[in-house]
Each structure stands twice: as structure tokens, then as C-alpha cells.
Amino acid sequence: MRQFDLIAFDWDGTLFDSTAIITRSIQAAVRDVGGTEPSAAAASWVIGMALPQALAHAAPDVAPEHYPLLGERYRHHYRQHQDDVTLFDGVLPLLHDLKSRHHWLAVATGKSRRGLNEALQAVALQRVFDGSRTADETAGKPHPLMLHELMREFGVEPERTLMVGDTTHDLQMAINAGCAALGVSYGAHASDELHALRPRHVAHSVRELHDWLLAHA
């Protein structure tokens, strides 16, 4: 018997190997608008948040009236390198194994709808996921609305829902929604930060994630 009917995945840093490029794009965007360049740790910490919130947090000395330009420059730098990133090795077999066990699979991401659609098309995964929510069409993480909407869509209770993510924003969203959480340490946030939020498990590789989900989900 399945423990979880609905498994929601973060995208960047959990399924998609994009943490380094997002981090560098944030740093470059802040430089472009004359802000103090955040450290790599500070820039990667905001990954998973909705973009306006993330950029404001990463660039506290940039005036709010410059936020639209900051977002434009981030998108410019990211698009210069978006073809350099792809799925982590092992993600496709993981997703196909979960589908064969009749889990509903969803994406809950800080990306925009346009950004997620482009990413899904680039790796031919449009038909693998049963649903998705993006930060520009609902509340951003760690607000639980993304998960609440997905659970309503599929008629799944919180105790039958698992959120998988690489950031504390993902895990806190799961807590706020009353759902179980599973962390992965190969993305944006360090293992000790993830453990502090007491997820069911923290996986250190896609292979370990795969094995845990097949054994426990």
C-alpha cells in the first residue's frame, strides 16, 4: 500500500541541476543594478522563493524601484546559460518508477509558469507530471498555498502528501501545509539546515532519493 498518493517535487536543485547557474545569475543581476554582490551562499539561500522576494532578500541595498530592472537582469543572465543545465542523472528512472506505482506527481516551484513550461519542454517531461504550481500564479514558498491547491486538485489529504525539496523553504512549506517532507542535500541548502526542520529523511544523491521513495513512499 502506498503511504503517499501525491508526491510534489521542487524543480531547481531537486530535479534540475541549476543551482550554480541561478546563483551566478543572481550575483550578476545585483552587480548590474549597482548593488553589493551577495556571496554565493547568500545568493543560493534564496533559491526556491518567488523571484521578486528572492532578489529583494539577496540585494537588500537595492532600492525597491529598481526591483523590476533587477528581475529583468536576472532573467537575462539565466537565459544565457539555461541550455547548459539539465536533469540530474537518475531523475528520469526515478520519475518513471514512481509513475509505474501510480503516484500522482506534481511540481511545486519558485519558477514562473513560463520558466517551468520552458524547462519541462526542454527535457520532454510535460506528460510525466500530473499537476504543477508556480510562484507567479499562487503564493510563494514557504506559504502553503501551492500544496493546498495541489491537494485540492487531486483530492488528497495532507497525511497522504509528500513534498521533496532541496531548500528549507520547501520543507517549511510542507510543515505549514501539514504534509510530510523529504530533503535532498545536493541542491541549494546544506544538510544540517534541512535536518533542522526534521524531514522524514535527507537524501544525499538522486540514487538515495530513488531508493528511499521506493522503500517508503
Q: Catalytic amino acids?
A: 10, 12
Pairing of strands 104-109, 131-134: parallel
* Sign for the pseudo-dihedral over CA of 111, 23, 162, 194: negative
**Edge-to-edge strand list for the sheet holding 202-203:** 131-134, 104-109, 6-9, 161-165, 180-184, 202-203
- Let me know the angle formed at the C-alpha of 142 by 138 and 145, rounded to the nearest 5 degrees: 35
Question: Pick from 66, 38, 37, 32: which is nearest to 52 by CA?
Answer: 66
Distance CA 126, CA 113 (A): 13
Tell me the helix, strand and coil percentages in the chain, rounded to 5.
50, 15, 35
124 phi-psi bin (left φ>0, alpha ψ -120 to 50, beta other): left
- Distant-in-sequence contacts of 20-24, Cβ < 8 A, 24+ apart: 21/78, 21/81, 21/82, 21/84, 21/85, 22/47, 22/78, 23/47, 23/188, 24/77, 24/81
